[in-house]
A and B are shown apart, each in its own frame.
Chain A
Amino acid sequence: MKTPPDAFEHDLQRLALRELPPHWRQEILAKAQKPRLAPPRPLAFVLAAAWLVILTLQVLTPAPQNPPQAQNSPVFAPSSLFAFHHQADFLLP
């Protein structure tokens, strides 16, 4: 919707807005263009939540009391036993 301005509106529109102080330009653009070291806020929230979950699980999960024991003693292959005995015979007087 565009209505044609009357004379009064037209006279108001002719007034130009004041310019900003020139030193603001450098100041404002330098701050706006400063590289961000921190991650973006949503990413920071996700990372924080992930760490919280990891820490919670760490605290809540009970540590195993004893390492699981093998049901049977290790079984050596016959060829390994033969090699062992052979070496023992060789080394021992």
Chain B
Amino acid sequence: MSRPDSQLERLYDTHAAGVFHYLHGILRSEADAKDLLQEFFVKLSRLTLPAGLENERAYLLRIAHRLAIDWLRRHASREKAEQTHPQALFAPQDDPDADRFARRLEAALHELPPEQRSIAEMKLWHGLTFEQIAEAQQIPLNTAASRYRYALDKLRGLLKPLYDELKP
């Protein structure tokens, strides 16, 4: 059964950017992430969302994560060859210092292993709990928490000079 158009549009308006950035973080290719975002919405158009979802974003990221893993399996040989530049993850900032920090953070995120980066993104910018992350990625709760800590420590280390400089 197809979902009514307005529902799909609402899902796009609410979640597309977040899902795209999440996919981009895993695939590291904007073109692939866009293709997979298309696939994601085709899949959504055939799904009925469960009633009473506690966190819609968590549910959708779980679907996106599975699609991304399947994609990586299908394109395993190509994935290694593509090491793209850091993506523009964040919106342009009005304050030049904040913008500088955002660009530096994008570069720092690019240095993280994908499994740490995806968890950092889920936690920091999608607001998921460790339980939701663990469920979405089908990993133990402790693994999700420890990967997040590793990611955060690494980001802290990489960004410390600029962070200290910009902090009043």
Contacts and interface: CB of A to CB of B under 8 A. Distances in A.
Interface stretch (A23-31, A60-68, A81-89): A23-31
Given A12-B124, A28-B41, A29-B8, A1 B141 contact: yes
Contact of B90 (A18, A24, A25, A33): A18
Interface residues of B, number: 38
A18 B21 contact: yes
Contacts of B89: 17-18
Contact of B124 (A2, A9, A28, A33): A9
Contacts of B88: 18
B85 to A, nearest CB: 14
Interface of B: 2, 5, 8-9, 12-13, 16-18, 20-21, 34, 37-38, 41-42, 44-45, 88-93, 98, 102, 105, 124-125, 129-131, 141, 145, 152, 155-156, 163
8 contacts: A1-B145, A13-B125, A17-B90, A17-B125, A19-B17, A24-B34, A29-B41, A32-B38
Tell me if B's interface is mostly helix, strand, loop or mixed.
Answer: helix
Nearest to B99: A15
B105 A15 contact: yes
Classify the interface of chain A: helix, strand, loop or mixed. helix
Nearest to A12: B124
A8 B141 CA distance: 23
Most buried by B among A8, A11, A13, A17: A17
A32 B8 contact: yes
Contacts of A19: 17, 91
A29 B12 contact: yes
A1 B45 CA distance: 32
Contacts of B152: 8-9
A91 interface: no
B41 A1 contact: no
Contacts of A20: 16-17, 20
A16 interface: yes
